[in-house]
Amino acid sequence: MNAIIMAAGTASRFFPISEETPKGLLDVRGEILIERQIRQLREAGISDITVVTGYKAEQFAYLQEKFGVSLVHNEDFNRYNNSSSLVRVADRLGDTFLCCSDHYFARNVFLDHDGESYYATRYSEGPTDEWCCETDADDRITTVTVGGSGAWYMAGHAFFNAAFSARFAPLLKAAYAADESVRQGYWEDLFIRHLAELPMKIRRYNPDDIHEFDSLAELRQFDPSWWDDTRCRLLKTICRALGCRERDFAGFERIGGMSNKNYRIRFGEKDYVLRVPGYCSGEMVDRANEEFNARVAGELGVTPMVRYFDAASGIKLADFIPEAETLHADTIRQDAHLDQIAAIYRRIHSAQTPLRNRFDLFVEMEKYDRLIAKVGGTMYTGWEEFRPRVFAIRERLEALGSVITPCHNDAVPENFVKAGDGRLWLIDWEYSGMNDPMADFAALFIENDFPEERQAYVLGKYFDGPVPAGVRERILCFEILWDCLWAQWTVIKEAGDDDFGTYGMDRYRRALENLKKLENHG
């Protein structure tokens, strides 16, 4: 007999604790979850134990020496579901206990089995959204439905006997290779499709036998020590910064983000936004500069106040905007919004406190070229020939009288957020720095597809009168530079397995077209 423990998942519902520690390595009632399972398996005479890792795999490495387990890495943990873990150990299936690293077995469930394949179940008196089983007179599973009431539902481990494994392993390998839906799904999905060929019973357990914690609230119910000790450095640091207790942490929800992960996170009755940077962003963004600039902008009243900032990791906590509505390319072009945007830009561009850094687009493009080489990316065809013409724009801007002021430099519509009272806020100061103020307008126009009439409207509000000579040409120069920079950014991000579709190529092509316009202009 052997056992396979699946420990590859990210446990996103345990954020931010899972940002530091995989769920299977949490300390529950004085024991590490996966260690408790391994000890119970060994007590049942099972020494052949395989742990399938993925997320933060390095943290499980010690188990090899401490318990003599085998480790198998699932490099697809972040894009496929648990079928991608099981297929990697399909050849090890025999008389096999199949477990998840985050289950807590109050008693040793591995001691009681009769050699027949089964799935552990618990009973729900009322409605549940779990996978509910119907069985025949011999307790063999005949139907599985998502959701039910007064039903036995799948909860916990499973046991495959050798006969079951001999049928299931080749079926899993073939289906996984041929069918994207199998890769995206659970191994249980494939089992359910083939119930007639894969006889498996249910084994009934009492509610207190098997525990699975889907949230911190559930874990706190089971182990009250988690109320005042979340074992999470980040939460402890935030609590010190806010002057609150760990028990005040009351939950979170994901609220989007293109290159970062953003969360609405609650302490007591107050909400904040927690930003966790994405792949390679630390090499593209100077976090110390971002922190300084964001705090300046907070003092100017154009962005929510920063409450915590870790320049090493880029993790940031800021006030949450109540009843927030994120603008999009259509709503941002409305008169009332453009009036506020013009006022925000005037306040930023006329700030007396200079920002900490110079955001020079030519320097940034040179940096991104080096990053592309470092991550093994390939810039779009023709870049080497196109690049010198782009860099020649520097002299053109100097001739046009380009000036330098504090700038935001990232006018995607999602960075303009309207509060319930109608007030606009400008968020995300990653790319802020001293720049030509027309770079902000160039970003605003191309990120939101501004027609000429909308451009004229907001520029008129900003200048409070006629638009000065040379402004339009400066804006066109910066539109080209922004498109080139974000095309490079896309190549870097996609080298880390992100997928932005045609985003980068579209920007690159538009830069080519606009450069022709600029060159034809004289």
Hey, what domains does the chain have and what are their CATH numbers? 2-213 (3.90.550.10), 324-520 (3.90.1200.10)
Ranges of H-type helices in 179-232: 180-184, 187-193, 216-222
Cα–Cα distance between 59 and 51 in angstroms, integer? 12
Cα–Cα distance between 279 and 78 in angstroms, integer? 13
Cα–Cα distance between 227 and 241 in angstroms, integer? 18
Query: 81 by DSSP, 3-state: which?
Result: coil
Question: Token pair of 278, please?
Answer: 């994405």
Strands 2-7 and 49-53: parallel
Summary mean pLDDT of the chain: 94
Query: 65 by DSSP, 3-state: which?
Result: helix
Least Cα distance to 294 among 284, 309, 283 occurs for 309
CA angle 408, 324, 238 (to 5 degrees): 75
Query: 71 by DSSP, 3-state: which?
Result: strand
Q: What pLDDT digit, counting tens, does each position of 500-510 carry? A: 999 999 999 99
User: Is pLDDT of 280 > 70?
Assistant: no
Question: Token pair of 137, please?
Answer: 């007179």
Least Cα distance to 232 among 14, 458, 513 occurs for 14
Residue carrying structure tokens 């451009």: 455
Cα within 13 Å of Cα(166), Cβ side: 3
Least Cα distance to 90 among 170, 156, 189 occurs for 170
Residue 42 — very low, low, confident or very high, per pLDDT cuts 50/70/90? very high
Q: What confidence score (pLDDT) does residue 284 get?
A: 74
Question: Token pair of 228, please?
Answer: 């005042």
Question: Token pair of 98, please?
Answer: 């199949």
Q: 331 forms bridges with which residues in the sheet?
A: none
Ranges of H-type helices in 354-392: 361-375, 383-391
Least Cα distance to 349 among 341, 361, 338 occurs for 341
Q: What pLDDT digit, counting tens, does each position of 310-324 carry? A: 998 899 999 999 999
Sign of the CA dihedral running 245, 251, 255, 260:
positive
Cα–Cα distance between 139 and 132 in angstroms, integer? 13
Give the residue-averaged pLDDT of 1-10: 97
Question: Token pair of 332, please?
Answer: 């941002």
Q: What pLDDT digit, counting tens, does each position of 422-473 carry? A: 999 999 999 999 999 999 999 999 999 999 999 999 999 999 999 999 999 9
Q: What confidence score (pLDDT) does residue 362 get?
A: 97
Give the residue-averaged pLDDT of 511-519: 94
Longest Cα–Cα distance of the chain, Å, equals 88
Measured between alpha carbons, how far is residue 26 from residues 10, 20, 249, 400, 494 in Å? 13, 10, 18, 60, 32
Cα–Cα distance between 450 and 456 in angstroms, integer? 10
Peptide bond before residue 16 is cis, with ω within 30 degrees of 0: yes
Specify whether the CB–CB gap between 249 and 266 falls below 8 A.
yes
Question: Token pair of 412, please?
Answer: 């995607």
Q: What confidence score (pLDDT) does residue 498 get?
A: 80
Specify whether the CB–CB gap between 50 and 89 falls below 8 A.
yes
Q: 124 forms bridges with which residues in the sheet?
A: 151
Q: What string of DSSP letters covers 285-296?
A: S-HHHHHHHHHH
Specify whether the CB–CB gap between 144 and 199 falls below 8 A.
no
Residue 249 — very low, low, confident or very high, per pLDDT cuts 50/70/90? very high
Q: What pLDDT digit, counting tens, does each position of 89-129 carry? A: 999 999 999 999 999 999 999 998 889 999 999 999 999 99
Question: Token pair of 132, please?
Answer: 């509910």
Residue 382 — very low, low, confident or very high, per pLDDT cuts 50/70/90? very high
Give the residue-averaged pLDDT of 368-377: 94
Give Cα 4 to chain centroid, integer Å: 28
Residue 279 — very low, low, confident or very high, per pLDDT cuts 50/70/90? low
